[in-house]
Chains A and B, each alone.
Chain A
Amino acid sequence: MSSVHLKNIVKRFGSFTAVHPTDLEIPEGHFVTLLGPSGCGKTTNLRMIAGLLDPTEGEILIGGRRVNEVPIHKRNLGIVFQNYALFPHKTVAQNVAFGLHYRDVPKSEIPGKVAAALELVQLPDVGERYPKALSGGQQQRIALARAIVTEPDVLLLDEPLSALDANLREDMRVELKRIQDKIGVTTVFVTHDQSEALAMSDKIVVMSAGRVEQMGTPEEVYNTPASEFVANFLGASNILDATCRDVSGGTAQLEAPLFGAFGVPAAKAGGVSPGPARMVLRAEKLLIQPPGTTAEGQVQAEARIETVDYQGQTVRYFLRVGDTQLQAINMIDERPFEEGAAVTAGFRPQDCAALPVEAPR
């Protein structure tokens, strides 16, 4: 087990910069997720840690040791790939035992270690089968067993759940987290799926276009997005123009054309100074209520529902306030409002965050 440190890493492919200068520290035993859309550089970072790509600039440290010149097979890693990458010509047991043959493990101990790894992934009885005979979820468990049986310093997960069915994906998510907790290995997880990232990570690194947008715990990233990109990528957000009147006493006073004046906790308005600003309101925090509802401490506006996207447990409304379209995701209380209904949309000021206006990129 070791920490991982990407020190001012840069990766260019010809004239294209895949990863802009990035500094990333992953403490020992942590589960860190690199989250972002495809092409954001998350996989490039993972492959540089793995030694499958060389950084153009900067250093990679594993356990404090520079590994830039260390080839992949000497880095003591475990990698789980999106498409399992099991060896089709070897049995499951031979697959799991593969890495042990390249380490100083006495031959007599190999079967025991293989059995323990298969036990850990809850597939103790498939050792004699070939990978082809297993389902996708089972294959991915075997791939995980193969990656951890060697007790790697770092476990790298490259979209390991993306090839699985939706139901299976959620089971595997829980399973993966359980196993990681149990063995406590430093883990770098790459995904484009925000719910996987939120559910599993100690820390999330949100990336976009080769840059780190935000680094923080799932709650921090979700509740106090550092940029409009993060606010939009993790869940659905309403991002509106606003004006900041004053920041004092732990509160930032905002004024928005649709909702009037209200105060946002300064902790959720990092970097905002008096002048133009942006307000970020998560769709789940915008409550849709019968017209004329008044609620203590709520900032409200009259709205009209345009589209109802019924999802069983929740409903997603697209509504119009003045000439602005907003979205709201609410739990369903009996039955949803109908399309065209006049409603009162409101939110608690402390649920709103504020961002400085971003310079166009």
Chain B
Amino acid sequence: MTGLGWHLIRGYAILVYLFMFLPVAVVVLLSFNASQFGSFPMTGFSFRWFVELANNDAILRAFRTSIILGLLTALISTTLGVLASLALVRYRVPGANLVSTLLIAPILVPEVVLAVALLLFLNFLGINKSFTLLLFGHVIFTLPFVILVVQARLVAIRRDVEEAAMSLGASPIQTFFQITLPLMLPAVLAGALFAFTISFDDITGTLFWKPGGVETVPTQIFAMLRNSISPEINALGTVMIVMTVGLPLLGAAIARTLSKKSGL
């Protein structure tokens, strides 16, 4: 009976995974389909859709926008997130709990609500949509992830290590760059990766905030889908998957190597 039970559970788990990942696998598979139509049966194996992708100016532009947006979001979010975490963990901030909750809140608020709210707010202020505002929008909802990851790490770094560095003659800023930052680097990198992939993936907020004529990869796909389902989209989807799954895995591997080196 127990043997059978385990088999059932195993089978069930496999079904769940199939349900979750089969559609993704289909997209990846079809992106290599030689046929004009993005559907089964496959007529042959080909990279033609990737080549076409590489020649599509609109998509290339969208890629460039997404990457620039993602990198800037990661940079700003990580910098702000690290500073906020330092303040909240290392110093006595009046109302620290409230500040902390407010900083995490964007995760809890549905993205559509956040998107509309920011848009209405900008209208109210009479500010036009621009790339900068899109960037700010992305910073707002990636910041909580950075703060959560970095704070957790910072709490685990003993204060007396920093005190020891200062007692040996390092100023607070030297102590931060010599001791605190290297010790929390894995978390900082993880936070930056989170911020990048979330920004790179985002569609809801981006649709609301992007100025006319600017497309990110997700909004570009969305626009293309409105016309027809081209096999190019499958290829684009595959590239997206590689970037958003591959990058964090790479990051995790780097973080692990780093922390192994420092014997943490």
Contact = CB atoms under 8 A, between A and B. Distances in A.
Contacts of B183: 88-89
Interface stretch (A58-66, A71-79, A247-255, A281-289): A71-79
A131 interface: yes
A199 interface: no
Contacts, number: 78
Contact of B160 (A74, A77, A83): A83
B119 to A, nearest CB: 45
Give the bracket for the number of chain B residues in contact with chain A: 20 to 34
A73 B174 CA distance: 10
B158 interface: yes
B263 A132 contact: yes
Contact of B164 (A75, A81, A102, A133): A81
Contacts of B161: 85-88
A85 B166 contact: no
B2 interface: no
Nearest to A89: B262
B263 A73 contact: no
Contact of B171 (A73, A81, A99): A73
Given A72-B166, A73-B167, A78-B167, A88 B262 contact: yes
Given A85-B158, A85-B161, A87-B179, A72 B262 contact: no
A282 B170 CA distance: 48
B264 interface: yes
B165 interface: yes
Contact of A50 (B167, B175, B178): B167
Interface in B21-75: none
Contacts of A101: 169
Nearest to A74: B169
A103 interface: yes
B158 A83 contact: yes
A156 B183 CA distance: 25
Contact of B263 (A99, A131, A147): A131
Contacts of B168: 73, 78, 98-99, 102, 146-147, 150
A174 interface: no
A130 interface: yes
A52 B163 contact: yes
B246 interface: no
B263 A72 contact: no
Given A88-B183, A88-B264, A73 B164 contact: no
A143 B166 CA distance: 14
User: Which residue, of B166, B170, B174, has the highest number of chain A Cβ atoms within 10 A?
Assistant: B166
A88 B263 contact: yes
B182 A72 contact: no
Nearest to A72: B166
Contacts of B166: 71-73
A184 B169 CA distance: 21
B135 to A, nearest CB: 33
Contacts of A75: 167
A85 B262 contact: no
B179 A85 contact: no
B163 A73 contact: no
Nearest to A82: B160
Contacts of B263: 88-89, 130-133
Contacts of A82: 160
A131 B172 CA distance: 23
User: Which residue, of B169, B182, B263, B264, has the highest number of chain A Cβ atoms within 10 A?
Assistant: B169
Contacts of A130: 262-263
A89 B164 contact: no
User: Which residue, of A73, A78, A103, A131, has the highest number of chain B Cβ atoms within 10 A?
Assistant: A73
B217 to A, nearest CB: 37
Closest 10 CB pairs of A and B: A102-B169, A99-B168, A89-B262, A132-B263, A130-B263, A85-B160, A85-B164, A79-B167, A81-B160, A73-B166
Interface of A: 50, 52, 71-79, 81-83, 85-89, 98-99, 101-103, 130-133, 143, 146-147, 150, 156
29 contacts: A71-B166, A72-B163, A72-B167, A73-B167, A73-B168, A73-B170, A79-B163, A79-B164, A81-B160, A81-B163, A81-B164, A85-B158, A87-B161, A87-B164, A88-B161, A88-B183, A88-B263, A88-B264, A98-B165, A98-B178, A99-B168, A99-B169, A102-B169, A102-B170, A132-B263, A132-B264, A146-B164, A147-B167, A156-B167
